[in-house]
Amino acid sequence: MAMMNSSSALTLFCCFTIFLQFLSVNSRDSPPLAPALYVFGDSLFDSGNNNLLPTLAKANYLPYGMNFPKGVTGRFTDGRTVPDFIAEYLRLPYSPPSISVRTLVPLTGLNYASGVCGILPETGSLFGKCLNLDDQIELFRLTVELKLVTSFGSKKELSEYLSKSIFIFSIGNNDYINNYLLPLLYDSSKRYTPQQFAQLLVGRLSQGLKNLYILGARKMIVFELGPIGCMPWITRRSKKGQGKCDEEANSLVSHFNNDLGSMLKGLTSTLSGSTFVLGHVNWLGYDAIKNPSNYGLRDTSTSCCNSWLNGTATCIPFGKPCANTNEHFFWDGFHLTEAVSSLVANACINGSSVCLPMNMEGLLKI
């Protein structure tokens, strides 16, 4: 399904009447819909933090970024990510990698997401240093207490700014991919049942969200985990036949997703003035994989770029990708193409069945 992004829609709208042309109103001149966008998570949201960390998990080479206006940035996809499309809708700049900002902190938001990391501190450690959930929240605390506080005249102004800003999360994928599903390297699958592991992850995430609330965050969107059993990393290794989703792996994350929804409802009811939105995307991803033509897709089982390990891992540097990236679901063995990120973002912004209990438009009205 080809979707017009918010920036294009605003431009067309601004050119629709002579009156608007006369006033020179366009997406750049109009005020932003929120003061800032703060991004947390893993490689689905990473905008380049891993470029500056001693880790093997990097996307700082072509063909990554081949469809992104600025080229290679460290995004683990061909173009824009879900946070990028949300930033465009909010009329904000793309949130830059937090550890790349050395002096003046932009008041329009930062990105703390880090590839291969997760909720648990040990997740992703085999690849080097990355920013786990606790690291990301600690960096945000330092941003608020050491940098943002000097940009506002009073604590009340800072509090109002943070309460109106948008915070988005996509984290937990690697706790399964790079932890629970690697029994030779991690013992988590021996120590915890699937239900216990999900409870562990959601409990740690809940505490992290509470810490952000204490720091001033009020509007938070937390995306659930997608159907990881349909990733080429799993399907092309599966004994059930290449291209077929591993439903056992999908059922693992269903425990996490079910607990996540209940947890977010509980936080909204107990933390005064907060609104926690569930990004209910698992069904959307699964439906797009099973019914690709309904979404303008053609290939939902193989990676678009030429990937290591028989198409199951990250892109081989400078390899030639597929011809029609917008028809593919997977960019490499793990990550989405820009086309799918656009689908997810737009469904959350103004749809009725992805971001619950309200979409982005509704969240901004609070």
Q: Looking at residue 103, what is its pLDDT? A: 84
β-partners of residue 41 are 170
pLDDT digit string, tens, across residues 135-154: 999 999 999 999 999 999 89
Q: Looking at residue 20, what is its pLDDT? A: 27
Q: Looking at residue 107, what is its pLDDT? A: 98
Q: Poorest-confidence range of 18-32, 43-57, 82-96, 157-171?
A: 18-32
Residue with tokens 């990105």: 111
DSSP letter for 301, please.
E
> How does strand 275-279 pair with strand 355-356?
antiparallel
Residue 13, pLDDT > 80, answer no
Would the CA dihedral through 312, 301, 331, 229 be positive or negative? negative
pLDDT digit string, tens, across residues 112-132: 999 999 999 999 999 999 999
What is the distance between the alpha carbons of residues 227 and 185, in angstroms, rounded to a whole number?
23
Average pLDDT of span 338-347? 98
pLDDT band at 69 (very low <50, low <70, confident <90, very high): very high
Q: What is the mean pLDDT of the chain?
A: 92
pLDDT band at 102 (very low <50, low <70, confident <90, very high): confident
Q: Looking at residue 240, what is its pLDDT? A: 64
Where does residue 138 rank: exposed (0-12), middle (13-18), buried (19+ CB within 10 A)? middle
Sequence-distant (≥ 6) Cβ neighbours of residue 353 within 8 angstroms: 280, 284, 347
* Residue 44 burial (CB count, 10 A): 24
With DSSP H G I counted as helix, E B as strand and the rest as coil, what are the percentages for the chain, rounded to 5? Answer: 45, 10, 45
What is the distance between the alpha carbons of residues 293 and 74, in angstroms, rounded to a whole number?
30
Q: Which residue ranges form the domains of the chain, and what is each CATH number?
A: 32-365 (3.40.50.1110)
Q: Is the peptide bond between 106 and the residue preceding it cis, with omega within 30 degrees of 0?
A: no
- Show which residues are catalytic: 43, 332, 335
Residue 21, pLDDT > 60, answer no
* Residue 101 burial (CB count, 10 A): 14
pLDDT band at 242 (very low <50, low <70, confident <90, very high): low
Residue 188, pLDDT > 80, answer yes
Residue with tokens 């990708």: 321
Q: Looking at residue 241, what is its pLDDT? A: 60
- Are 243 and 301 a contacting pair, CB within 8 Å? yes
Query: Residue 114: what residue type?
Result: S
Residue 29, pLDDT > 60, answer yes
Three-class SS of residue 62? coil
